[in-house]
Amino acid sequence: MSKHRKKDSQYPPIGAGLSQFEPGGQNGPIDDPKEYEALVQGVADPEQREFLEEASRFATTWQYLSSADMQLPPEIAIAVADLKARSLTVHDRITRMRDVNQQLIEFIDKHDREDSAVRQ
């Protein structure tokens, strides 16, 4: 073993810190809507708060997709990944997030209409 490499046992196992994001963890989901709303309203910057609201809508809609065994469309996944571009202002991110949310709702609506036509 190289003297510059540590033993594998000294590294934490992969995913060891992720339990904090599980229900009940320090950074886990907030189940109480009032607690969540207070957290959002506690954000001082109005643009940051608006982005947080749009991102939350996206997360809720994505959760619906997952529960309905539907995949997130690739073009929407790409649009969300593009939000991390450093050149975007907060206003641009809000606008793009709104567009993504609209596309996602239209995708679900189209899927639901096609699904109901099959059942008839």
The residue-averaged pLDDT of 51-61 equals 92
| Count of H-run helices and E-run strands, the chain | 4, 0
pTM value is 0.70
**What's the CA angle centered on 65, arms 64 and 68, to 5 degrees?**
85
Tell me the pLDDT tens digit for each residue of 39-48.
888 989 999 9
Tell me the pLDDT tens digit for each residue of 65-104.
988 888 899 999 999 999 988 899 999 999 999 999 999 9
Q: How confident is residue 113, by pLDDT bands cut at 50, 70 and 90?
A: confident
Name the token pair of 96. 């793009």
